[in-house]
Structure 1
Amino acid sequence: MSPDPIVAEITVPATPTEAFVGFTAQMGEWWDPLLSPEPATFTGIAIDPNGPVASVHGDEQYVWGRVMEWDPIGRYTQELWLWHPEDEATVLDVRFTESPEGSSVRLVHSGWLPGSDELRERFTVWDDLLRRYAAHVW
């Protein structure tokens, strides 16, 4: 049996489309550099709505994902293989829905293979990352 998905949620004072833009186009501004292949040289994240997701380190890019769904009205989904092989990619699914306070952002990181508990543990920081994201969007 595969490990349970990691679920993290936060509310941000923005429309779902603004929340989507803050999460995707501005990811490099709120992402923790320590969660990149080379933290000392991290300068951002590049996301192609029709292709790769990569950490930017000066002139170098390290691809660690691929966009699966890009819907600025409410959903972003990508394969993710940061710290593990591409053929063992997990899935990051983020939904942006309107709420009385702005937008509810619900992140589900799933697709863990049996025996991937140690790897999965490295991704239990999504709550912290969403707080960084919310502070950026605020």
Structure 2
Amino acid sequence: MSLDPIVAEITVPVTPTEAFVGFTAQMGEWWDPLLSPEPATFTGIAIDPNGPVASVHGDEQYVWGKVTKWDPIGHYTQEFWLGHAEAEPTTLDVSFTDADGGGTLVHLEHGGWADGSDEVRATYTHWEDLLRRYASHVS
């Protein structure tokens, strides 16, 4: 099994900065609640540009990442451990660049897979669906 990054892309009809804001500050509005620790109580996602990323469930927060790069001009990176051990984080790296013909190309890579993480990596099959939800939100 491959340890290569999982790659997904989509073009959205907004500027790179608007695409960045839609991906980060508005993540809780397009994220699929079924991909959260407690889907029935999911109310959003909180992202601190200098710290944690967490699913919000009423008064509870479940931290599943940490921002490592926050550049509203076109780049977002975080440590990611939703669905696997915090001690072995992966990396979510998303760039926002001008697309040919207008809009913004959103390029997502979920990488940093360690030896022995094949089974966990195989469960991450939702990035394309999530990017479609995101695109619908920002369009």
**Equivalent-residue separation in structure 1 for 2:40 and 2:9 (angstroms):** 29
Residue 115 of structure 1 and its aligned partner are, at CA, apart by 1.8
Residue 2 of structure 1 and its aligned partner are, at CA, apart by 6.3
- SS of 1:120's partner is helix
Given the alignment of the two structures, is residue 108 of structure 1 paired with residue 109 of structure 2, yes or no? yes
Q: Give the corresponding residue for 1:4.
A: 4
Residues 16-50 of structure 1 deviation map (CA, whole Å, 9 limit, x = unaligned): 00000000000000000011000110000000000
Residue 85 of structure 1 and its aligned partner are, at CA, apart by 1.2
For 1:38, the aligned partner's letter is E
Given the alignment of the two structures, is residue 82 of structure 1 paired with residue 118 of structure 2, yes or no? no
Do the aligned partners of 1:9 and 1:130 also contact (CA within 8 Å) in 2?
yes
Could you tell me the TM-score, scaled by structure 2's length?
Answer: 0.96
Q: Give the corresponding residue for 1:118.
A: 119
Residue 113 of structure 1 and its aligned partner are, at CA, apart by 1.2
Do the aligned partners of 1:2 and 1:112 also contact (CA within 8 Å) in 2?
no
For 2:135, the aligned partner's letter is A
Given the alignment of the two structures, is residue 21 of structure 1 paired with residue 21 of structure 2, yes or no? yes
- SS of 1:19's partner is helix
Given the alignment of the two structures, is residue 43 of structure 1 paired with residue 31 of structure 2, yes or no? no
Do the aligned partners of 1:2 and 1:113 also contact (CA within 8 Å) in 2?
no
For 1:129, the aligned partner's letter is L
For 1:131, the aligned partner's letter is R
Give the number of equivalent residue pairs: 138
For 1:112, the aligned partner's letter is W
Residue 101 of structure 1 and its aligned partner are, at CA, apart by 2.6
**Equivalent-residue separation in structure 2 for 1:31 and 1:101 (angstroms):** 25
**Equivalent-residue separation in structure 2 for 1:74 and 1:133 (angstroms):** 16
Residue 122 of structure 1 and its aligned partner are, at CA, apart by 1.8
Given the alignment of the two structures, is residue 30 of structure 1 paired with residue 25 of structure 2, yes or no? no
Given the alignment of the two structures, is residue 54 of structure 1 paired with residue 49 of structure 2, yes or no? no
Deviation beyond 2 Å, 4+ runs, structure 1: none
Could you tell me the TM-score, scaled by structure 1's length?
Answer: 0.97
Residue 117 of structure 1 and its aligned partner are, at CA, apart by 1.6
